[in-house]
Amino acid sequence: MNRNWPILIPVLLVFGLGLLGTHEAGIDADSATRLYLTLQLFALEGDWTNQLVERPWTLELARFLAPITTVASQLFVFASQLRVAIANRLARFARGHVVTVGLSEDVLEFLVACARSRRRITVLTEQRDPSLVAEARRLGHRVLEVDRLDDAALRSVNLPRASHLVVLTGDDGDNVE
């Protein structure tokens, strides 16, 4: 499941309620202005609603849910980043795990096969391809992005206690080393 849906669905729902509410309140403006007024609700700038004689329930609900959606979205993003950071720190204490060095489309196929057999992999990579990293994490594997593949990077995944080391970088010399 795409991790953006828990954020996107409430935001779209509140936008819909806000646009419907501005229409029901009889605000005489074009669509762009109504969209802008609804957008202001997310940043606690909804003072314009106080000038309305009567606010429809849809606008009241949008006024209430917009700031909650903003804060909840930020917490969701923070929590997901925190989960990744904690999982990467815990890699230092893992035992009997598999460490993979390198991340590419071919490695991703290996990670998919490991995920099917419920084998969790720790991936150590220099590559900064966000789509590959996100896909590997979506499969349930740890991904540690490092600047260099050196002894410190290998210690961060507790390589001496790993059961297997799989090196699949694009350079044969690096693989042998």
Are the beta carbons of 120 and 142 closer than 8 angstroms?
Answer: yes
DSSP structural state of residue 96: S
> If 0-12 CB within 10 Å is exposed, 13-18 middle and 19+ buried, where does residue 17 land?
buried
Residue type, 118: R
- pTM comes to 0.58
β-strands 142-145, 121-125: how paired? parallel
pLDDT of residue 27: 86
- Which of 62-66, 132-136, 156-160 is the most confident on average? 62-66
pLDDT of residue 2: 59
Q: Is the pLDDT of residue 4 over 80?
A: no
- Which of 59-68, 97-106, 116-125 is the most confident on average? 59-68
Distance CA 26, CA 20 (A): 10
Instruction: Tell me the per-residue pLDDT of 154-167, one tens digit each, with 9 for 90 and over.
Output: 777 877 778 877 87
Distance CA 140, CA 119 (A): 9
Residue 146: both structure tokens together: 């490092």
